[in-house]
Amino acid sequence: MKVSRTVTYAVQALLQLSQYQGGAPIPCNRLAREGRMPERFLLQILRDLVNSGILQSVRGVEGGYRLARSIDEVTLEDVFEAVDSPLIASVPPLDEMPDKARETMLRTVNQIAASVREQLRSVRLADLVDSQAEEQKSAVLRAI
């Protein structure tokens, strides 16, 4: 499985936001600069995270983005679904492929997708910032 740059940037931005104390909104340009991410691309990612309820956006001169939920409540599955296409199994129909072979293939791909979703659901953002849990969870991330 290949993790998209979109997901990687989303996780990076969320980890950055989790480090700021006091809940003051952080502007996109600051997140982009500190995280070495392209600002325009990051802006779209942040909008998707706002639309999914993971972030809040604050308008105005002192505006920016802040976490809408605790990092204990946000899973990697939440992030994947917010910024990337959902993990849905599909096998395109082929005239040459027998129906039973296609059904078996689809069932297998569905099982794999369910397993990946379960693994992503088991990792919270808090796990990624917790230095002791980081090594343990990186094995899960490598397995995806």
**For the segment 12-33, what is each residue's pLDDT rounded down to a tens digit?**
999 999 988 677 899 999 999 9
- The pLDDT assigned to 54 comes to 97
* Beta-bridge partner residues of 66: 56
**For the segment 46-58, what is each residue's pLDDT rounded down to a tens digit?**
999 999 999 999 9
Q: Could you tell me the maximum CA-CA distance found in the chain, to the nearest angstrom?
A: 61
Amino acid identity at 118:
E
Structure tokens at 135: 């090594």
Nearest to 124 by CA among 15, 21, 32, 5: 15
Q: Does domain 5-143 have CATH number 3.40.50.300?
A: no
Q: How many CB atoms lie within 10 A of CB 15?
A: 14
What is residue 55's three-state secondary structure?
Answer: strand
What is the residue extent of each domain of the chain?
5-143
